[in-house]
Structure 1
């Protein structure tokens, strides 16, 4: 009987330990989701990179806090061309990126992001996203921001 009570006591003691405080050996990391943009002719609905209006080399993105250029990926597959920014949210930050495509498009992407850890897993919580200076629609299915250009 003493062994049974001792066993139950040990089980209760170890199950009552806070597992959140010991994350050693627990691999759980979620990178931040990239921001993706498609530039669309507001009248025809055509992708402006696909139809040749813009070229990849027309893209300029500047971090407004330090005036440094921001690295981006231009994804061109099957006549579908989007701009991807993956540098936001790796740490807690407020981002203000000026996005310019040639002389025709200029807008600010403002993001408030927190990098948090809960239950031994780190991830990014996006508190707010604003696009100033451009008309846009966010595609709920894909998460892509379609920037509408006149």
Structure 2
């Protein structure tokens, strides 16, 4: 998957902002103390092994220091053709254009902004049932 866009909400010096990632090169240009390093730190915090802590709260937010209003990072990815095919198998839809990953309070949420969730929930249930059937042993041993 290729990162296409990042949204920062209440992260350090960035109360709210969006960064579009270009295809080849993305440059961060700005005067000192304008938030360039905080953008890079936020991208690092998107990693599952990195925790968002109170140090990441935006000092410019009225909610500074309140846990229920912690920093939020949203990352938009464009899946490759192979990844789209795999997602399509699971969700039962062929219009997977974007995958959005949200990190808030060290929890992750995965969204597909352009799909019909009702249709997908049915496809997911079918996939789970198929998986269960495949996982069941063909000749279960009888208890002794």
Q: TM-score range by the shorter chain?
A: under 0.3
Q: TM-score, normalised by structure 1?
A: 0.21
Q: How does the TM-score come out when normalised to structure 2?
A: 0.22
Higher percent of residues as helix: 2
Q: Which of structures 1 and 2 has the bigger CA Rg?
A: 1
Higher strand content, 1 or 2: 1
